Amino acid sequence: MNDAAFPTSGLKVVSGFENSMEALGSKKVYQRFDLGMSYYLSINAGNVLHWHAFFGIGTKGMPVTRYFYRGGPTDFIGADYQQLSGYKVEIAGLDYIRHLYRRLYATLSLAMADHRAEYVNPADPGFSGLLYGVSVGAVLRSPLGPIKAQYARGFGKAYHFPQNRSYLFITAGFKF
Architecture in CATH of 10-172: Beta Barrel (2.40)
In 3D, which of 74, 37, 30 has the Cα closest to residue 54? Answer: 37
Cβ atoms of residues 74 and 59 within 8 Å: no
pLDDT in tens, 53-109: 999 999 888 888 888 888 888 888 877 777 778 888 899 999 999 999 999 999 999
Cβ atoms of residues 87 and 115 within 8 Å: no
Over residues 33-53, mean pLDDT: 94
- Three-state secondary structure of 125-171: CCEEEEEEEEEEEEEEEECCEEEEEEEEEEECCCCCCCCEEEEEEEE
Band of pLDDT at residue 114, cut at 50, 70 and 90 = confident
pLDDT reported for residue 2: 82
Distance from C-alpha of 161 to C-alpha of 171, rounded to nearest angstrom: 23
SS3 65: helix
More confident residue, 162 or 132: 132
Amino acid letter for position 4: A
pTM of the model: 0.85
Listed by start position, the domains of the chain span 10-172
Mean pLDDT of the chain: 85
Amino acid letter for position 22: E
pLDDT reported for residue 124: 52
pLDDT reported for residue 92: 94
